[in-house]
Amino acid sequence: MNALAADALTALRAAAQQGHRDLRARIDRLPDDAIDLILRDARSHYAWTDKPIPDGLLEEIFDITINGATSMNTLPARFVFVKTPEGKARLAKSLKPANVGKMMGAPVTAIIAHDMNFWHELPFLFPHEDRRHLFDGKEAYCEDTAFRNGTLQGAYFMIAARAVGLDVGAMSGFSNAIVDEEFFAGTSLKSNFLCNIGYADETALFQKLPRFAFDQVCSYA
């Protein structure tokens, strides 16, 4: 790294540090209503109204999601928004029968996938140090990193969708092999899970299922 690059990196780090201080000065936590909306009182949905989702809102969800942290900024997740009748028919081939209606009724179903060749983008995503050698030829490590961080991005995606006023219903009752053949054949992408998104029809909800108390699953060390 030459002196100019080092100076530029120092300036960028200083700007990032000040930006975080400014953020914390502006807001120190979310209000309870916001926390309720995205997690505490949020529900997984199975039925949907016919209110459409504009593409601009999907782009906003992505813009929020892509800012979530991943290891080495690898960002392996890839998203396919299935919204056309043709796309829905292709996706339906992969679903267990009980899930077909849930997917077909949603305005959009997102395929949350991950790119096994994510590490090729590291010169762009992690420009201050070339770490491609950590992944080159190491298939198991690539799979582990892509799956873990892609799943993390899928969770960011669900929270982002709720944050902008949408409802979500994640699904795992499908064949990954069929989805990969239908949508990702000949690529380095692999499907992880599906997520229906839209404006929910609350009449399909049942009571919220139990959750653990802190002392049941948490400990100190």
pLDDT one-digit tens code per residue, 131-153: 999 999 999 999 999 999 999 99
Full-model pTM = 0.93
Contact 149, 77 (CB under 8 A): yes
Q: In this structure, what are the phi and psi dihedrals at residue 152, rounded to the nearest 5 degrees?
A: -60, -45
Residues 187, 195: Cα–Cα separation, whole Å: 21
Q: In this structure, what are the phi and psi dihedrals at residue 196, rounded to the nearest 5 degrees?
A: -75, 140
pLDDT single digits (tens) 177-207: 999 999 999 999 999 999 999 999 999 999 9
Q: In this structure, what are the phi and psi dihedrals at residue 61, rounded to the nearest 5 degrees?
A: -60, -45
pLDDT for residue 1: 38
Residues 2, 188: Cα–Cα separation, whole Å: 35
